[in-house]
Structure 1
Amino acid sequence: MGATRMGKSCLSIDLATHFQEEIINSDKMQVYKGIEIVTNKITHSEKQGVRHYLLGKFLKTQRIPINFGGSNSYIEKLVEDSVFMFKYKYDTCFTWIDVEQSFLNYRVDIRVDQMVNEDEDDESNKMLLQSSIANIKHNTRLLICHQLDKIQWLINEKMWLVHHIIAIDVFKGDRNEVIDEAWRNTILRPYLDIV
Structure 2
Amino acid sequence: MMMKSIRWTHHMECNPNRPRLKVIVIMGATGSGKTRLSIDIATRFPSEIINSDKIQLHQGLDITTNKVPMQDRRGVPHHLFGEFDPNIDISPSDYRSIADSRISEIHRRDKLPIVVGGSNSFINALVSARYVADDPDLCSASAEFRYNCCFIWVDVAREVLDEYLSRRVDEMLESGMFEELAAHFNSSGDTAGSCRVGIRKAIGVPEFERYFKCFKGRGRLEEDSAGRVVYREAAEEIKNNTCQLAEKQVGKIQRLRSTGWDMHRMNATESFRAVLASDRDRFRDCWGKDVLEPSLKIVKRFVDDGDC
TM-score (norm 1): 0.89
Structure 1 unaligned regions, length at least 5:
none
Q: Does 1:67 align with 2:111?
A: no
Can you give the 5+ residue segments of structure 2 that lack an aligned partner in the other structure? 1-26, 81-98, 132-143, 180-217, 300-308
AA partner of residue 92 (structure 1): C
1:183 matches 2:287: yes
* CA offset digits 1:100-151 (Å, max 9, x no partner): 1111110111111011101174825447611100110111111111101110
Structure 2 counterpart of 1:132: 234
1:18 aligned counterpart, secondary structure: coil
Taking the TM superposition and a 5 Å limit, the aligned residue runs for 1:16-95 are 16-54=42-80, 55=99, 58-63=102-107, 64-81=112-129, 87-88=145-146, 90-95=147-152
What is aligned with 1:117? Answer: 174
2:265 aligned partner: 164
Aligned partner of 1:5 among 3, 21, 31: 31
Residue 96 (structure 1) aligns with? 153
CA contact (8 A) 1:116 1:125 kept: no
Distance 1:125 1:69, change over 3 A: farther
Counterpart CA distance in 1 for 2:77 and 2:267 is: 28
Q: Report whether the alignment pairs 1:193 with 2:297.
A: yes
Q: How many residues align?
A: 191
Pick closer, same or farther for the CA change 1:81–1:147 going to 2, 3 Å: same
- Displacement of 1:73 in angstroms is 1.1
- RMSD of aligned residue pairs (Cα, Å): 2.1
Q: Encode CA deviations 1:59-97: one digit per residue, 9 max, x unaligned.
A: 3414231111011111111110558xx933x32111111
Distance 2:64 2:123 in 1: 22
8 A Cα contact 2:39 2:73, kept in partner: yes
Q: CA deviation at 1:176?
A: 2.1
Question: How far apart, in 2, do the equivalents of 1:142 and 1:62 lie?
Answer: 34
CA distance in structure 1 between the aligned counterparts of 2:158 and 2:220, rounded to whole angstroms: 31
SS in 2 for 1:4: coil
Larger radius of gyration: 2
Q: Could you say what secondary structure the match of 1:87 adopts?
A: coil
SS at match of 1:191: helix
SS in 2 for 1:192: helix
8 Å Cα contact 2:160-2:273 kept in structure 1:
no
Bigger helix share: 1
Secondary structure, aligned partner of 2:238: helix
Rate the CA distance shift 1:32–1:62 in 2: closer, same or farther, 3 A: closer
Once the two structures are TM-superposed, the CA of residue 6 in structure 1 deviates from its matched residue by 1.0
